[in-house]
């Protein structure tokens, strides 16, 4: 099993990613990150709202773009949902209506952004350390129908996790990321997990990253790249 840093360092452009892991202190944690190449993609922020959600929004004044601006994480008394698009709100609404995770993740489609057709990645987690990953992906062939992958993860020991990224790049072309990757982390807590994740992302492409626990989304640790100074700002 490769480390989180090794897996991300070998990916020249991971795009957006979701991570579910147990840190060394025994706490189960989720993480979400964004990288981007275009000025429009980089002109985004990841921030908390008064309602306790994490949202991806424009950092300047521009028309809403549903592929780039969305609720990235939302929690209810029973569930935490996070992912890379507007499907996060859809899945959260289904869960609140009483649907089980597998049903709530069903019926989602990949993003309509040719030629790469970005996968929609969604994680549903409960308060007992269990998580259900959902990935809506386009076929590698000519078939336009969505491939839907669901992965149930539980009882992760300290130091282990599961990662999904939208893309994988060798520095030349860009392809859809692997269905999922099991990783090892040396992080002991939220702060060191955010440090490990942030340092592994390509510096020129970093936009934002957040680490959180299922029951405490409002106190997520968030790091945001500063395009002006090349540094990063961290806040809760």
CB burial of 196-230 (b: ≥16 within 10 Å; e: otherwise) equals bbbebbeeebbbbbbbbbbeebeebbbbbbeeeee
CB burial of 145-177 (b: ≥16 within 10 Å; e: otherwise) equals ebebeebebeebeebbbbbbbbbbbeeeebebb
CA 168/CA 174 separation, integer angstroms: 6
Note down the domain range covering 143: 4-235
CA 66/CA 58 separation, integer angstroms: 11
Closest CA to 134 of 112, 107, 160, 159: 107
Read off the tokens for 18: 């979701």
Q: Please give the pLDDT value at position 200.
A: 97
Read off the tokens for 182: 């099991």
Instruction: Name the maximum alpha-carbon separation found in the chain.
Output: 46
Closest CA to 163 of 23, 30, 19, 3: 19
Overall domain count for the chain:
1
Q: Please give the pLDDT value at position 65.
A: 56
Q: What is the DSSP letter of 96?
A: H
Q: Is the pTM of this model over 0.75?
A: yes
Q: Please give the pLDDT value at position 234.
A: 57
Can you give the CATH number for the domain in which 91 is found?
3.60.20.20
Q: What is the mean pLDDT of each run of 10 residues along the chain (236 residues)?
A: 96 97 98 93 90 85 62 95 96 97 97 93 96 96 94 98 97 93 98 98 96 92 74 54
Q: Please give the pLDDT value at position 40.
A: 83
Q: Please give the pLDDT value at position 228.
A: 43
CA 225/CA 233 separation, integer angstroms: 6
């Amino acid at each position: 099993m490769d480390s989180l840093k090794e897996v991300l360092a070998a990916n020249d452009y991971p795009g957006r990613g979701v991570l579910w892991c147990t840190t060394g202190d025994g706490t189960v944690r989720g993480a979400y990150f964004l990288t981007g190449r275009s000025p429009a993609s980089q002109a985004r922020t990841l921030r908390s709202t008064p309602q306790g959600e994490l949202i991806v929004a424009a950092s300047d004044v521009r028309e809403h773009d549903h592929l780039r601006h969305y609720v990235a994480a939302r929690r209810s008394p029973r569930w935490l949902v996070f992912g890379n698009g507007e499907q996060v709100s859809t899945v959260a609404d289904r869960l609140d209506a009483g649907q089980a995770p597998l049903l709530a993740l069903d019926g989602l489609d990949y993003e309509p952004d040719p030629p790469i057709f970005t996968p929609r990645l969604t994680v549903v987690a409960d308060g007992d350390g269990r998580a259900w990953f959902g990935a809506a992906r386009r076929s590698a062939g000519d078939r336009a129908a969505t491939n839907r992958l669901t992965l149930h993860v539980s009882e992760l020991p300290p130091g282990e996790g599961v990662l999904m990224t939208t893309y994988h790049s060798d520095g030349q072309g860009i392809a859809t990321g692997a269905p999922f990757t099991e990783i090892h982390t040396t992080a002991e807590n939220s702060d060191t997990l955010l440090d490990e994740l942030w340092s592994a992302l390509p510096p020129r492409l970093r936009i934002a990253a957040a680490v959180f626990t299922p029951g405490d989304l409002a106190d997520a640790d968030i790091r945001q790249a500063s395009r002006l100074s090349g540094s990063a700002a961290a806040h809760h």
